[in-house]
Structure 1
Amino acid sequence: MNAVIVEDESLIAEEMKANIAALAPDVQVIEMLPSLKAARKWFMNHAEPDLLFMDIRLSDGLSFELFDQFVLHCPVIFCTAYEEYAIRAFKVNGIDYLLKPVQEEDLKKAIDKVRNLKDGQRFVPGDLQQLVQYFSNPSLAKNQYKERFVINSGNKWAPVETKDIAVFYKDTLNYVYTFNGNRFIYDFSALEDIEDVLDPAIFFRANRQAIINIYSIQSVKPHGNQKLVVQLKHPLKLEIDISREKAPFFKKWMDR
């Protein structure tokens, strides 16, 4: 299958291309388009590919605008940092909707869906109704995430509201930092377990050690080789590193 990537962050586009090559050798990325303008020009001069990977918010507009100008029939895997376009995506050939940073397992499953369609197998997403309800009802969506954590406070347990947590930090022990600067031990085996139950609009997996709350950020500064350093608000005395690979995702996550 021939595929085209529409993505305005070059590092993300390159990573997507590399992941596709590793997970699906039969899918050849023939073009990476960095803007809506470039995509329009490309589709005016080329036949549509077998598969499209598309970001939604591009530097010069929404990728949905392509479907207003061109009649496209190929399936589309949307890869975006924004949840609010999901229903619209499924109205324009969307076969899957992956939230950034895209996990390899999710990417592989999405490509498998396309293969099933190409092979003539009927694909009906069993959770489509749940998806529609999820994005049509903000209060329902909110309830999908964990509302509080029970932490170890001295020799007793105490509940801490998720909204009051500034950072989850994995060190020799596992800690929860609250906005008032308190630090508590919280028992979890891996940050992935925590990440799965947090609202991705509010919390970001910064690195192997930390998940940070958007409202805990005081400032962000570049630090050599395109890395970023996040300074958290007082009274938190933490600096969190963002790797070169994650920096583009982090910028998009902040710029909502």
Structure 2
Amino acid sequence: MNILIIEDEIPAFKKLLAYVDKSLHSDFEYTHTRSVEAAIKSLKEKTYDLILSDIEIIGGMSFDIFESVKTATPIVFCTAYDEHLLKAFQTNGIAYVLKPYTQSDIDEALKKYKELFYVKFNEHHFFEQFKTLLDKKDTYKKRLVIKKREGIKLVNTKDICFVEAHGDFCKLKDVDNNLHAVSMSIGVLSKELNPDQFFRINRSYIINLDCIENIIPYSKNRLSIKVKGLPVLVKTSTSLTKEFRKWIDR
């Protein structure tokens, strides 16, 4: 959610921002402008979901902004004067909050915004969450570049059965039972692999979901796992067993 805050008094801006932050639980981005000129520039450069605006600001009245730049964005007016009420609602005003306002005043104004623009509000959040998920998945490695004596070998991460820690580097085995050495620690590599496919079960091993052959109870809080290409059973750490159970059951 993108918000434009138009407020020329810094203390008033900080107070308003704190109220909005508490009401929306930090689930927003904002731009702050103090003058008519700066606000016009911001509205020409960017689209906002909501505007919170004082009325008398540097360079004139906030109404001058909305006469200069046509916008469909809903506006919550936050002002010390009540004589502009009618004009405020002749623009895109949806609420008129008088200073000194309280947290509950801002809560009510934002509640009204959500109710009036429910579909847009929720579509925006769905899109942002979906976009974040896609962007995040795109950052995971699809292949590893591994240096060997005979040259450079490319290993697709989806073909890795398991990764084993060896100090500052790792060893991994692929689905064809080939062993490779990677010059990065298991901690670094674990962040590069897609968590939908790979799980770090303890300090020494990362395993591929598709290469799990059997899971056996080992103790109350631990599991033994048979992984393709690994001659020994590997065990989940006590602290990660619960999370691992949820991971395989997704």
TM-score (normalizing by structure 1): 0.45
Larger radius of gyration: 2
Structure having greater relative contact order (Cα 8 Å, sep ≥ 6): 1
Bigger helix fraction: 2
